[in-house]
Amino acid sequence: MMNQFKILSINPGGTSTKVALYLNENPLKEETIRHSAEELSSFKGTLDQLEYRKELVLKFLEANRVQVRELAAVVGRGGTFKALESGTYGVSEKMIDDIRAGNVQADHPSNLGALIAHEIVSGTGVPAYIVDPVSVDEFIPEARISGLPEIKRVSLAHALNMKMVARKAAKQLGRRYEEINLVIVHLGSGISVGSSLKGKTIDVNNANDMGPFSPQRTGALPVTGLAKLCFSGKYNKKEMMDLLTKKGGLLAHLGTDDVEEVQKRIDGGDVNANLIYNAMVYQIAKEIGAMATTLDGKVDAIVLTGGIANSKRLTDSITRKVGFIAPVMVFPGEDELEALTRGALRVLSGEEKVKEY
């Protein structure tokens, strides 16, 4: 009989901190703590939010009458660290030092997950983990090459959720994750499309750089046009980066990043909303087709997941375009708290060994 492990999972995001208490794989209590733009604007940078977010997590524990020493582990979302293998990592001083020093690939709230977990368990003897960070890198050599030697393609993706739904898809197919080939699509404010070859993500678009445009991100752009815009004097570097990663896509075209709102506009006869929405679907499908070629067309299933995969209208539209490649499986939502918990459980139960950063 499996031991009973009580686990606290923490997922810091752009506008929220999601927390949950689990007993093994069973959620006991979940909460999404929302952060208004006004609250977050009072901090100079992401790392400055650490104490604010940590205190909110501690209040969650207090409200549920849980002492840290009762926990088997505290697990936080892994961030944009150096390239790492897939797996569950112990939060180490080296990891903490790298985050605090800015030795990460991008400034993102996910970098706070390890810091919050580390501070909460300090002095208690309870282990702190991260699982499948954004920087999971399993690329084949060809996938790293761009058209300029100075610019390498890097693996940054929604690895945590993508890895978990890949295992769920394998289970539904009655096979082991390490035996099958999948194209996995995380549909959120950014969109990651990856090819999984027998358990390894051999290629993926970095949602900040490439692939389809999304509710907030531009995806791939015509590069000469981008170069001209960068030197136009219209934007400074920060403004340009915000435009590409936070203010692009649906938001730039339609003034909203809410897919449901866009669909309502379409139903109301908005021709431009219909065009932009269909263009996003078109680009998602095109990227899925591209990733299928990295698997030589040998695809067991296409897996759709993420927050906007809750829209059946969207997933049906994608399925109509790519269903000829392979069966399409849909796991809506961003079950990252569950994914964190499962990663910690695999270590606590002895199924996997904890990895060193």
Same-domain pairing of 130 and 200: no
Model confidence over 272-307: pLDDT tens digits?
999 999 999 999 999 999 999 999 999 999 999 999
Model confidence over 80-132: pLDDT tens digits?
999 999 999 999 999 999 999 999 998 889 999 999 999 999 999 999 999 99
Same-domain pairing of 213 and 244: yes
Tell me what percent of the residues of the chain surpass a pLDDT of 70. Answer: 99
Give the residue from 64, 13, 16 showing the smallest Cα distance to 36.
Answer: 16
Taking a C-beta distance cutoff of 8 angstroms, is the pair 201, 157 a contact?
yes
Whether 149 is covered by a domain: the verdict is no
Cα 218 to chain centroid, rounded:
17
Whether 147 is covered by a domain: the verdict is no
Same-domain pairing of 288 and 248: yes
Same-domain pairing of 261 and 317: yes
Burial of residue 177 (number of CB atoms within 10 Å: 0-12, 13-18, 19+): middle
For residue 34, the SS3 value is strand
Same-domain pairing of 121 and 173: no
Whether 22 is covered by a domain: the verdict is yes
Containing structural domain, residue 12: 6-136+336-348
Task: Tell me what pLDDT residue 104 has.
Answer: 93
C-alpha radius of gyration, the chain, whole number: 20
pTM score of the predicted model:
0.89
Own/partner contacts of 316-321, CB < 8 Å, gap of 24 or more, are: 317/278, 317/281, 318/185, 318/281, 318/284, 318/285, 318/288, 321/281, 321/282, 321/285
CATH number for the domain spanning 320: value is 3.30.420.40
Whether 145 is covered by a domain: the verdict is no
Mean pLDDT of 36-55: 92
Label residue 2 by pLDDT band (50, 70, 90): low
- Per the structure, how many domains does the chain have? 2
Same-domain pairing of 115 and 16: yes
Same-domain pairing of 105 and 193: no
